[in-house]
Amino acid sequence: MGKLANFRRGALLSVVLCATTPSAGQQLEAPQPALPGNVVEITAGDFFFVAPDSVPAGLTTFQLKQIGAFTHDLTILQLPPGKSVAEFAALVEAGEPRPWAKNLGGPGFIDPPLSTNVTLVLEPGMYALACFVTTPKDPPEHLRMVKPLQVVPSTTALSREPPTDLVVRILDDGYEFSPSLSAGRHLLRVENATTQRRLFRMERVLPGRTPEEAIAWGRQRLTVPDTVRPTESRGRLSGFEPGQHLIMTVDLEPGTYLVSSLPNRATSQVFVVQ
């Protein structure tokens, strides 16, 4: 692992990406490599998930696509023997705790028609797919976005996480990146080194807009129209627990990026890619 650079809140991180422009006569860029493991496509709509009923155990990438007018993410929860998805769903709708459901995190909300993803190793058993993104304006149907997923044993699936080329540690007051960033596709390991559940988001600030506008918009997004959004999403993870890590695939291009891990963007960090 390369030397860690510890970037604290409020600092501006300038990173040079090794981007090249094809010269005349050069062929176009090769297709991006496939996502790791068994890729499971999931669509989140109002207010439902389109997903398979079962998947094989082992290395799995969940790729989340958005449709509809409401915001949705995907949280993957592993249920212990003797507990059912119906019982879990009833507790969610009632607002009751369900400490026996193990939160594995998942792909967070991203604007249509983009998609976001998460890669993890699944053990055989019963899981629940749930959306926990709710606002006071959402109808009660949003609390019922729970779908069962059966993970069945497999003798052929990969059972180890793939090697990653970039690590980001979420700290209480900033982020640690290792090694240096570069342009292109990255397999990113995101580690929660705080003492609370954190989400993770990477947003590219649109040309002509500023990070300050992006932070302000994020904090008041429920009261301003999406047409004034100053960023575009590059990858998001739903909330995951302290000490936990998740793997995601992201594509970076030159520009200014905003990284944050709390809903109100209190821990936002800016880095510039040239």
Same domain for 165 and 132 = no
Nearest CA-CA partner of 212 in 270, 274, 271: 270
Alpha helices in the chain (DSSP H): 85-94, 211-219
User: What pLDDT is attached to residue 224?
Assistant: 55
Same domain for 144 and 56 = yes
- Asked if residue 33 belongs to a domain, the reply is no
- Asked if residue 28 belongs to a domain, the reply is no
Cα separation values, 237 from 29, 104, 106, 165, Å: 28, 11, 6, 18
DSSP letter (8 states) at residue 25? T
**Gap between the Cα atoms of 194 and 197, Å rounded:** 8
User: What pLDDT is attached to residue 133?
Assistant: 79
Q: Residue 135 class from Cβ within 10 Å (0-12 exposed, 13-18 middle, 19+ buried)?
A: exposed
Q: Choose one of 152, 170, 191: the last residue of a domain.
A: 152
List 248's β-bridge partners, or say none: 188
- Asked if residue 214 belongs to a domain, the reply is yes
Q: pLDDT tens digits, the chain, 274 residues: what are they?
A: 443 444 344 333 333 333 333 444 444 444 556 899 999 999 998 888 999 999 999 999 999 998 877 778 899 999 999 999 999 999 998 889 999 999 999 999 877 777 899 999 999 999 999 998 766 666 777 667 899 999 999 998 899 999 999 999 999 988 988 886 777 899 999 999 999 999 999 999 999 999 999 888 877 765 555 567 899 888 899 999 999 999 999 999 988 999 999 876 777 888 877 6
Cα separation values, 74 from 32, 77, 118, Å: 24, 10, 10
Same domain for 210 and 125 = no
Half-sphere exposure of 23 (CA within 13 A, CB side): 0
**Gap between the Cα atoms of 186 and 198, Å rounded:** 21
- Asked if residue 52 belongs to a domain, the reply is yes
- Asked if residue 23 belongs to a domain, the reply is no
Domain hosting residue 90, numbered range: 39-152
CATH code, 129: 2.60.40.420
Number of domains in the chain: 2
∠ CA 75-76-79, rounded to 5°: 130
Same domain for 234 and 144 = no
Same domain for 167 and 138 = no
Work out whether strand 198-205 and strand 255-260 pair parallel, antiparallel, or are unpaired: antiparallel
